[in-house]
Amino acid sequence: MNKPQSVFQAEIAIWGTLAISAICALINKLIGDIGIGEFATSIIMYGILCIVPYKIGRGSNAARYFYTIVFVASILFLLGGMNEYVPKLDVIMSFVLIPVEIFIIYRLFQSDSTSWFHRKEIKTNAP
């Protein structure tokens, strides 16, 4: 079974959110809101998170759930007031990207996506 359109769209949207986040980190560095250490840490973190859309695109059910957990945790931190230590641009972009993140989660858990992930999982675990 080919990758469903819903998974493809979610994968592309995740790549887009990672790119936007990296650009925001660069802007924050250029305007002086973060130092070189924070910038380097952010870019390394976004680089590591590039594994998630890659794995989702290859049918990893664990990556799908990991992405959902990271999204929920980020919302809780955002609403819980952890944003007082975060540059304003990052807070603004977090709120702006919430609808995109909800779209991604929605597409990843649609029935065609779920059955594709389960088929990939069964195929990988077969003896």
- What ranges do the domains of the chain cover? 8-121
Terminal alpha carbon distance of the chain: 19
Instruction: Round to whole Å and give the CA distance between 38 and 52.
Output: 22
**Exposure pattern of 33-57 as b/e (b: 16+ CB <10 Å)?**
bbeeeebeebeeebeebeebbebbb
> Per-residue confidence of the chain (127 residues) as pLDDT tens digits?
689 999 999 999 999 999 999 999 999 999 999 999 999 999 999 999 999 999 999 999 999 999 999 999 988 888 887 666 788 888 889 899 999 999 999 999 999 999 999 887 776 665 5
Contacts of 26 (CB under 8 A, 6+ apart): 39
For the record, the structure tokens of 126 come out as 């077969």
CA distance 57 to 73: 22
The 10s digit of each residue's pLDDT in 69-91 is 999 998 888 888 766 678 888 88
pTM, entire model: 0.88
Among 58, 62, 27, 52, smallest CA distance to 42 is for: 27
